[in-house]
């Protein structure tokens, strides 16, 4: 198995508060990693660091062999320019808790915005691919709807289609259902589960334990900026080794 993501010794401090205390994590290509952990444990910061939305203070992250934020010249690392960082980021899809759709663009326009403006894909080709993606998330009939005309679950499915539009090597989900009304959670989890089964490499932060068990190859339990334990779902969920994992699971299950 080859590593799609390698996180090595990553530290991140906000002010005087060290939020990530030396994170190591490997995600193999074609696998699904679910990150569990209490609020404030550093889950979002870790995902954001992988996507270079946060710069880390120490340590390195690579995605498909490229160091995030750096390029290697001989055995030295040089910081990437903003333009190169944007290009690197195009390899990584990100689905946010609050959808983050452009309110003034239709569903289809949201999906094709990055391919057209960032990658200069021909409009007709981008639109055709965008329609296919909307169909894949069950929203073929909503291409011309604006976000305000869609339910939260539909908006999040548009956001997933948008995250896939650049054909990323990796997709990150940060609590994709926690802003949704309970009756809308299932449709979004179904889309993510289908994507997981198609072999997309993904890292998912969620509090939906049943869903985590269903889709995860590996579950990582993060607490206070440290990986406390990781392993297959049946081990971490049914036979956790650490007291802190047990305490967390007893609250969310
Ligand atoms: P989680 O996603 O697990 O709830 P976060 O990664 O969002 O945790 O946050 C971890 C800690 O870092 C929290 O204490 C949070 O308040 C703090 N934090 C996150 N982002 C910032 C920021 N931009 N500035 C200052 N503190 C932050
Ligand atoms: Mg978070």
The Cα 60–Cα 71 span in angstroms is 12
- Work out the pLDDT band at 1, boundaries 50, 70, 90: low
Identify the residue whose C-alpha is closest to ligand 1 atom 11: 40
Residue listed under structure tokens 């339910």:
151
**Residue 8 predicted with pLDDT over 70:** yes
Q: Which atom of ligand 1 is nearest to the CA of 48?
A: 6
Classify burial at 111, counting beta carbons within 10 Å of its beta carbon; exposed 0-12, middle 13-18, buried 19 or more. buried
- pLDDT tens digit string along 74-93? 999 999 999 999 989 999 99
Percentage of the chain with pLDDT > 90? 94
Identify the residue whose C-alpha is closest to ligand 1 atom 23: 14
Ligand 2 centroid from CA 74, angstroms: 37
- pLDDT tens digit string along 170-207? 999 999 999 999 999 999 999 999 999 999 999 999 99
Average pLDDT over residues 206-230: 97
Q: Which residues approach ligand 1 with their CB closer than 6 A?
A: 14, 19, 37, 39-45
Length of the chain: 253
Q: What secondary structure does DSSP assign to 144-166, as a single string?
A: T--GGGS-HHHHHHHHHHHHHTT
Least confident residue range of 40-44, 71-75, 139-143, 225-229: 71-75
Average pLDDT, the chain: 96
Phi and psi, residue 40, nearest 5°: 85, 5
Classify burial at 120, counting beta carbons within 10 Å of its beta carbon; exposed 0-12, middle 13-18, buried 19 or more. exposed
């Amino acid at each position: 198995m080859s590593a799609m993501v390698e996180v090595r010794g990553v530290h991140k401090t906000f002010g005087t508060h060290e939020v990530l205390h030396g994170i190591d994590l490997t995600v193999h290509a074609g696998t699904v990693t679910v990150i569990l952990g209490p609020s404030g444990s550093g889950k979002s910061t870790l995902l954001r660091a992988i996507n270079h939305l946060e710069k880390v203070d120490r340590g390195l992250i690579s995605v498909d062999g490229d160091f995030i934020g750096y390029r290697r010249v001989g055995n030295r690392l040089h910081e990437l320019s903003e333009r190169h960082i944007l290009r690197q980021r195009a390899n990584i899809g990100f689905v946010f808790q609050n959808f983050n759709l452009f309110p003034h663009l239709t569903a289809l326009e949201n999906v094709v915005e990055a391919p057209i403006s960032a990658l200069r894909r021909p409009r007709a080709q981008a639109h055709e691919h965008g329609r296919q993606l909307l169909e894949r998330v069950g929203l073929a009939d909503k291409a011309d709807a604006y976000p305000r005309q869609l339910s939260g679950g539909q908006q999040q499915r548009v956001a997933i289609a948008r995250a896939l539009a650049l054909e990323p090597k990796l997709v990150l989900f940060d609590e994709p259902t926690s802003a949704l009304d309970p009756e809308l959670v299932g449709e979004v989890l179904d889309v993510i589960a289908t994507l997981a089964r198609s072999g997309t490499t993904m890292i998912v932060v969620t509090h939906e334990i049943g869903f985590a068990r269903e889709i995860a190859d590996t579950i990582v339990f993060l607490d206070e900026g440290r990986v406390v334990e990781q392993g297959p779902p049946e081990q971490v969920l049914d036979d956790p080794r650490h007291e802190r994992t047990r305490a967390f699971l007893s609250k969310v299950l």
